[in-house]
Amino acid sequence: MNRPRTRSTIEAIVISGALKKRFSHNIEEIEKRAKNVMEQLEKFANDMLLPVNISKTKALLVHGVVSPMYPKIQYEGQRVEYVKIFKYFGVHISTKLGWGIFINERIRKIRMIYKALNIIFRTIPPHLFKLRRKIFLAYALPHFCWLFCCWFFYTDTQKKQIEHVYHSGLRIVYALKEWDDLSTILLTREKSLLDYVYSYWLRLKQHLLKAPEALAFQQSWKAYEIVTSSDKSWYKSMGFRKNSIFPNRLSQRAKHSLADLKLFEDVQKEQYQFFVKNTHYLNMLIYKFYIEPP
* pLDDT over 90, % of the chain: 34
Averaged pLDDT for residues 110-122: 96
- pLDDT category at 164 given cuts 50, 70, 90 is very high
Angle, CA of 202, 205 and 208, to the nearest 5°: 155
Give CA–CA dist 227/248, Å, rounded. 9
Averaged pLDDT for residues 211-235: 85
Is the pLDDT at 149 greater than 70? The verdict is yes
75-100, pLDDT tens digit by residue? 888 888 888 887 777 777 788 778 88
Provide the pLDDT for residue 3.
40
What's the pTM value of the predicted model, to 2 decimals? 0.77
Provide the pLDDT for residue 236.
75
Angle, CA of 62, 200 and 155, to the nearest 5°: 40
Averaged pLDDT for residues 153-165: 95
Mean pLDDT of the chain: 85
274-290, pLDDT tens digit by residue? 888 877 767 777 766 66
SS3 label, residue 254: coil
Provide the pLDDT for residue 8.
56
Provide the pLDDT for residue 119.
95
Contact between 35 and 14 under an 8 Å Cβ cutoff? The reply is: no
Q: Could you give the residue ranges of the DSSP H alpha helices within 88-214? A: 100-120, 129-139, 141-148, 156-174, 181-188, 193-210
CA 226 to chain centre: 25
Residues 6+ apart with CB under 8 A from 205: 258, 261
Averaged pLDDT for residues 249-266: 86
Give domain limits for the chain.
Answer: 23-94, 99-217+235-294
Give CA–CA dist 254/102, Å, rounded. 23
